[in-house]
Structure 1
């Protein structure tokens, strides 16, 4: 059940990162906010990998003329490289769509659609990635999706945004959810392609993914939109915090998805919505409606179902 702890850790970290990115989006272009998630992540991911590898190995005899096992590189197949490249590109696309949602008038329902990733991951995982989900697991996934839509629709009604729901917001939300789902499925696939314990394999996948993302997106912005770099430099402290929190969250997500089916992990991860509403109620003194209470209860039931599936 360690995947549950990693998922809960990811939820707390992702909630904080989303709040910071939403705030940064007022000052920095969408691509810059997307890059803030990855820019300083590679050295953090490398440090985590080295520490995990060192702690996972048996004691090393310093007098023996042999390289310690934790310093040895695993074999990276062509399939592994292609899968991590796909995961990296899809996560950039998913993050960009999410940042675009921050700028929409009816963000609540768009973000709810983005949370469709659990159901999409379940369907695609079963069809193309050899995942097998139990009946209870499927019921939990569907129930979690219903709960998120109940909550997002309720918030949209409170904000008076239902009538102005646009096709653009619907498409962006669904695109974000689909890209996040595919990213997660490819991350799990890559972790299982390495002949390593799953936690170490997930750490290697994370290092590859964030390195590709940071290098590729930085180069693109430098060539095509250098002004974005100036915007990020003016907010470098916020960018550093976002990168750090995001990388630690990715450590939790990648490990959880290596250990358990993506659809289960993402369904349990929907308690992020619950956390957000609780913060709004107790910190911002927002009133909780009956619809939101129903949605929260449904999320709790869905999370329980996938934890015991």
Structure 2
């Protein structure tokens, strides 16, 4: 049952990370908000890995080419997914942007069945269908006749990128010959380190104002990185123990954390239609889990 606890940790931390990124996106460009997710995460990941080795000393990982490809792929696609999610925040309010990004769970189930040997029952496919309806419904700004195709496509692209990240993270973890918590921690550290390096190089070469913008907002940047890293510890650990579609569907409880944060902290006005869409996504998650 440990994967359930790790998933709940991940879902709650991800809701807060999204909230902090939503706040940052009002003052910092997309590259800066994306970098904020990773810039302080590497030291936290190192502390976590060292703590695991103090608690349970084991050997160092044997790095294979297959493992390296999964790690590099996950690192690159997650950066893309984060940038797409920030763009979603700029197009709509916080709760709706996060809801559209949660198509990740549905896409992970589909890709898992098609390419990663995951099996879904009829009940599971019903859950996927319900979730798809919810995603489209939340993209309707003023009813179905004025459905925003660009928002839907952006949300699905974001969810697909996050789904690929999760699937490749699990494959990378399964390719390490180490005990459960250590292999998840190594994958986490390597992925975050690569992402931080890539984004810092981009910011230094292309847009130095990106780093300056984050330095001028140290508290919000630290909160974003901390919540992101703690959430990643939860996700990476859960996905090392359980198949991605199950982890991500249970992780849909994030929508309730999102609603609470959006309503009581960000003071967003969440419409009844948006709330219903988030509830339908949660129902889809339950159906897939029961399957």
TM-score, normalization: structure 2?
A: 0.88
CA distance in 2, matches of 1:9, 1:285: 24
The match for 1:60 is none
Give the equivalent residue in structure 2 for 1:176.
Answer: 158
Deviations 1:78-102 (A, max 9, x none): 1111110000000000000001111
**Contact 2:88–2:97 (CA<8 Å) still a contact in 1?**
yes
Alignment match, 2:107: 120
Question: Structure 1 residues 22, 282: CA separation in 2 closer, same or farther (over 3 Å shift)?
Answer: closer
Q: Which residue of 1 aligns with 2:19?
A: 19
SS at match of 1:269: helix
Name stretches of at least 5 consecutive residues in structure 2 with no aligned partner.
none
CA distance in 1, matches of 2:132, 2:174: 27
The 1:148–1:198 alpha-carbon spacing in structure 2 relative to 1, beyond 3 Å, is: farther
Aligned equivalent of 2:246:
264
Closer, same or farther: CA 242–35 of 1 in aligned 2, 3 Å: same
The alpha carbon displacement at 1:198 in A equals: 2.6
Residue from 113, 116, 128 that aligns with 1:129: 116
- Structure label with greater radius of gyration: 1
Answering whether residue 206 of structure 2 is matched by residue 219 of structure 1, we say no
- CA deviation profile, 1:140-173 (whole Å, cap 9, x unmatched): 44434444555x25xx55xx58776544323321
Alpha-carbon distance in 2 for matches of 1:236, 1:33: 12
Q: Corresponding residue for 2:89?
A: 102
RMSD across aligned C-alpha pairs, in angstroms? 2.7
Contact preservation (8 Å) 2:35, 2:196: yes
- Map 1:1-309; keep pairs closer than 5 Å: 1-55=1-55, 57=56, 69-70=57-58, 72-105=59-92, 111-150=98-137, 152=138, 157=141, 160=142, 165-280=147-262, 284=267, 289=272, 292=275, 296=279, 298-309=280-291
Q: Is the 8 A contact 1:112 1:149 kept in 2?
A: no
- How much does 1:134 deviate? 4.0
Q: Distance in 1 between matches of 2:87 and 2:32?
A: 12
Q: How far does residue 111 in structure 1 lie from its aligned partner after superposition?
A: 4.4
Query: How far did residue 183 of structure 1 move?
Result: 0.5
Give deviations 1:227-251, integer Å, cap 9, x for gaps.
1111111112211111111000000
CA distance in 2, matches of 1:165, 1:123: 24
Comparing 83-92 with 196-205, greater Cα deviation is found at 196-205
CA distance in 1, matches of 2:98, 2:273: 20
Which is worse superposed, 287-296 or 84-93? Answer: 287-296
The answer as to whether partners of 2:99 and 2:255 remain within 8 angstroms in 1 is no
The answer to whether the Cα contact below 8 Å between 1:3 and 1:257 also exists between their aligned partners in 2 is yes
User: Which whole-Å CA distance do the structure 1 matches of 2:7 and 2:23 have between them?
Assistant: 24
Q: Secondary structure at the match of 1:237?
A: helix
Q: Could you tell me whether the CA contact under 8 Å between 1:106 and 1:162 is conserved in 2?
A: no
In 1, the alpha carbon distance for the partners of 2:243 and 2:254 equals 18
Distance 1:163 1:265, change over 3 A: same
Say whether the 8 Å CA contact 2:3–2:241 is kept in structure 1. yes
